[in-house]
Structures are given as structure tokens and as C-alpha cells.
Amino acid sequence: MSSPIITPAPVTRRDFLKHSAVGASVLSGIAIPHVHAAGSDEIRAVLVGCGGRGSGAADNALKTKTKAPIKLVAMADVQANRLKSSFEALSAKHPDVMSVSEDAKFIGFDAYAKAMDMLKPGDIAICATPLAFRWVHFKYAIEKGINIFMEKPVCADGPTARRMLALNEEAKKKNLKVAIGLMCRHCERRQELFKRIQDGAIGDIILGRAYRMSGPIGSCFTEPRDPKESPSELLWQIQHFHSFLWASGGAYSDFLIHNIDEMCWMKNDWPVEAQSTGGRTDRGTAIDQNFDHYSTEFTFADGTKFFFEGRTMDGCHQEFASYAHGSKGSAIISQSGHFPTKARAFKGQNFVNSDVIWRGPKEEPNPYHLEWQHFLDAIRQDKPYNEARRGAEASLVTAMGRMACHSGKVITYDEALNSEQDLGGEVDKMTINSPAPVRADANGKYPIPQPGKTGKREF
């Protein structure tokens, strides 16, 4: 069954920030009515989107130590082979809590609804398809009274950001628990660093820097489709979702969001505008919509700058890190990936020669596991827990940087939020025979961003 597209009235950054704080905890608040299924401690879950990240999220969930086990009871995807490989891998790791029978494996664009129909109010839907479908699945979970874990990002453009914001108001009315896969926020060491920065340990933040520079990653570069091997252009694009802006927000949104989010977290604010440069090198016959290098300057309301460098090119310097520079010192937020072992604060600006004024413990739990522990604890103890607004904000700010690069224009937060370029369109009406949202031309090429030629649109 298709659902009507929700298009709220234009809103502003002030509207977003009025109801939330970047650094606010999602784990505190007053007790409100219990929503989990009465008479049972068991939490049932379904997996919607059985790719690598979906399978990883399900694995993290099933590993979590709780009062009673969480059980996976259904799986859904548009590709049978992906569901099969995910089921086999999860069954090998978690044979005692995998309860997915053959008739609970659903394939197709309506598979998410069939899977969620197996749940009771208070159970969990794990949604990790390409982001274009996130709002559709969120809407159905709300209708069913189901708690939901959504992989990041949750939106790639203004229309879907506004849609997610409006939907979340309905989720809050039902006291649903909503988790977003920005797991770095659950890292104990980074939480301690955030507190120290807010308490003035390095003074006022005056500069942020972050880097996600590597070789080609995921499906960000894609060769032309062979119609004989992949007759459905739509399914082929979903399979290569990093290559298409409608499906994922491209490599920029999918891979850069963590560093952007954690820098904004430490600043305890969201930027008001972005300007950006980038481009494509000679990549032969690749037909994706990505640039392979991005350089973005984000500006906060107080004038503070945050510079982000992203690159997916072989043979170049590689770095995966986020840094904060303050008026009295500096901090490493992350380095060498998502794990927090190198987070620390310094008296000066030189990480090599400056005195260390704080460092966390050498060991701490995996943040991918912590986010599930916090989510499940909130469900068990009926604590208020809703990360959807913050997830939409982080996704929108990331999209703002991408839009600035692809258009060649300065893009403000309000312009990004109220943009009318809906990259995915009516994804809630898609079927196996639907055309893809972007189509190849006679030469098999897809539209690519051309800065300066499309106004503030990306292509």
C-alpha cells in the first residue's frame, strides 16, 4: 500500500534548534507509559535491508546483553541473494536467537511492510536500506507502533528532511523509541571529551578540521550496466546505491556524515552555511554521479569555521580523523577510524609536542555495541529515547555541504532545508517494474553535477 508524501510548510534552522540541543542527552527524562508488548520480556525484531550495514546492525543487536534475548523473526530486501547471504551469516553467528522461517523472508518493494506486520507494538524494526526509503519505513513503523533503528543518513535533501521531521512528531506522540546509526555519539570517551570541551578545557572552539580520505570505497565508482546481467535499471541502481544521489546522497552523504556530525557535536551547534569545491578526475568509463574529491568550509553562526576534506582516490595520502582547535588548546576527536582510542585534549595546538591535559581509558566498549545497549536499555526501562531529529539535522548539514559543492554556490542551512529538489521522488510507490529515478542517456551516462550551470540544484 502506498502512503501519501508528507510535505510540511517551510521551516528554518531556528525551528529545528528551538526543540533540540546538539549535545543534549537522549537517555534522560520523565517516565512515560510503557510501550513494549505486555506479558513478555522478549523483544522481537525484523531486518529491513540485508546488505552489509543492515547485517552488521542486526549482528550488533543480537550480541547485546539484555534481560531477555532479542530475537530476529523476519527479514526483507528487494534482492533475494542479499537476503540469503545475510541470513546465513547471522544464523552462523547467532543460532539461538535467529527465528526467521522461510515464510518470514520477504522480497520486493512491499517486503518491509510484510516484515513489520509480524511485530507487535514495542518490538523493533532495523531499517538499513539505501536512505531513499527511510521515510517510507519510518512512516509505517509509526503506524504500527514499532520502535525503530534507522541507519544513517536518514535524508539526502530538503523535502525528505522536512518529511522526517514531521513524521518524528507523530513518533513522539506514541512514545516510540527511535535510534539513528550515528554510533560515535554513544562513545563514552567522546562523551567525556564533549563535556570537557563544554566546560572550557580548550577554551572556545575557533576551528574544526576533519578528513575522510581513502581509496575508492563501497559502490561509489560504478561501471556501466550490462542489461543482460542486470535487466532492471532500478534494482541495479539500488545495488550500486553509493553511485546515485537519489539512493544514498552519494559518497559525500554516506561516508562523510560521521566526521561532520561529531565535529558539530563538539561545537554544540549546526553550521548556518557551507561553500565547497570538488571535482572528478579522469575515471575512464565510470558512470556514477560522485565527485572523487570534496573540500567544504562550514560556517557557524558565531563565525567559527569547520573545514572538511573528503577524497576517494588511489595513490593519495589517506586520513580518517576529526580535530577541534580552541582558544586555549586543542583536541583529537577521532583518528584512524571510528574507534576512540586516540581521543585526547592538549594544552597547545601541536598534537606532537603539546602537553596532554586529558586522555580517556585505554579500552572501552565498541561504540557500535554501545548504541544498541543504550537503545535496548531505553526500551526495557521505558526511558524517553528519540534520536530522529538529531539524525535529520546531521543528514541535512551533510547534504548542505554536498549541495554547495555540486552547485558551486554558497548554500545556507535554511536553503538546504527548504530546497525543492526531491532526489528520490515518490519512492513509496515503487514496484519491481518502476523506472529508476535517474535514467542513463543513449551513451549509458548518468547526469553528473556541473557547478555553476544548474543554479542551486545539484544536476
Lowest mean pLDDT among 26-30, 86-90, 204-208: 26-30
What pLDDT sits at residue 443? 86
What pLDDT sits at residue 10? 54
Confidence at 20, pLDDT banded by 50, 70, 90? very low
Q: What is the mean pLDDT of residues 164-168?
A: 98
Lowest mean pLDDT among 26-30, 183-187, 372-376: 26-30
What pLDDT sits at residue 144? 98
Give the whole-number percent of the chain exceeding pLDDT 90: 84
Confidence at 245, pLDDT banded by 50, 70, 90? very high
What pLDDT sits at residue 39? 42
What pLDDT sits at residue 13? 62
pLDDT digits (tens, 9 = 90+) for 366-419: 899 999 999 999 999 999 999 999 999 999 999 999 999 999 999 999 999 999
What pLDDT sits at residue 302? 97
In the predicted structure, residue 266 carries a pLDDT above the cut 80: yes
188-365+398-429: which CATH number, 3.90.110.10, 3.30.450.40, 3.30.360.10, 3.40.190.10?
Answer: 3.30.360.10
SS (H, E, C) the chain: CCCCCCCCCCCCHHHHHHCCCCCCCCCCCCCCCCCCCCCCCCEEEEEECCCHHHHHHHHHHHHCCCCCCEEEEEEEECCHHHHHHHHHHHHHHCCCCECCCHHHEEECCCHHHHHHCCCCCCCEEEECCCHHHHHHHHHHHHHHCCEEEECCCCCCCHHHHHHHHHHHHHHHHCCCCEEECCHHHHCHHHHHHHHHHHCCCCCCEEEEEEEEEECCCCCCCCCCCCCCCCCCHHHHHHHCHHHCHHHHCHHHHHHHHHHHHHHHHHHCCCCCEEEEEEECCCCCCCCCCCCCEEEEEEECCCCCEEEEEEEECCCCCCEEEEEEEECCCEEEEEECCCCCCCCEEECCCCCCCCCEEEECCCCCCCHHHHHHHHHHHHHHHCCCCECHHHHHHHHHHHHHHHHHHHHCCCEEHHHHHCCCCCCCCCHHHCCCCCCCCCCCCCCCCCCCCCCCCCCCCCC
CATH 3.30.360.10 domain position(s) in the chain: 188-365+398-429
In the predicted structure, residue 42 carries a pLDDT above the cut 60: yes
Q: What is the mean pLDDT of residues 20-26?
A: 43
pLDDT digits (tens, 9 = 90+) for 383-397: 999 999 999 999 999
**13-185+369-386: in CATH 3.40.50.720:** yes
pTM attached to this predicted model: 0.91
pLDDT digits (tens, 9 = 90+) for 107-165: 999 999 999 999 999 999 999 999 999 999 999 999 999 999 999 999 999 999 999 99
CATH 3.40.50.720 domain position(s) in the chain: 13-185+369-386
Report the DSSP pairing between strands 305-312 and 205-214: parallel
